[in-house]
Structure 1
Amino acid sequence: MGCSAGDGLLKSLFLAMLKDMKLIRNYLSKKNIFQPKALDDQTVFYVFRKVIKDEFGNVGIENLIPDYYNNKTIFVKSDSSAWKSEIWLNRERIVRKMNVELGAGTIEKIKVK
């Protein structure tokens, strides 16, 4: 079976489309479109409070205070040993929920002071 004129046209269109896609990808990479943006503490704290409110209500927000964020770790203050234990027991679920909001791998650990 030989190639018809239509097959040649399809091949030409396909190759042109691939070239255009490559040009677009190169342009976007130069503009840093695909680069993750640095997170500020306030964004991380907002998401933390949101997750804590969903999990524990307003009483959780009152007892678990985000202190700072560094190197994929959020540091949290609490005066209550019961709340420190509560966040420790639920840390994996809290991290998972925060990463749904912030992006996979953004938060790896929660440390309580």
Structure 2
Amino acid sequence: MSDTDVVGTIVLTVDGVEYDCASANPKFVTGKKPVATMNRQGRTRKKTKTTSSITLSVEVVIPENGDIDWANIEDGRVTIESLDGGHRTTYTGCEATDVSESYKLDGEAVRSIEMFALDKIIEGAA
């Protein structure tokens, strides 16, 4: 595995302030769905395409000072960048839908934030 295959930083930006993230798990919902119909074979034979969407699960390291109202994040930005800066994926228009806290004995205290994003921008080599 080369250095370009490894994620270097994950940052959540809210109102121009950057918060370090321990992890980010994007999920893409394609909008494709089966349509159940009555037929002799007794199986789905039709499909439809609805609206696609992007959801993210992000763990943000809780800052010692300058904590914000995480549940009311609006128009945030999550940036995932490679170690050499050659590849960057940014999710824009991020808004929180669910917030929880997590404390670990050997790790950092983090906030787990479920959010949706309006757009995904990929820069650099894929």
TM-score, length of structure 2 as denominator length: 0.27
Higher strand share: 2
Which structure has the higher relative contact order (CA within 8 Å, separation 6+)?
Answer: 2
TM-score, length of structure 1 as denominator length: 0.29
Higher helix share: 1
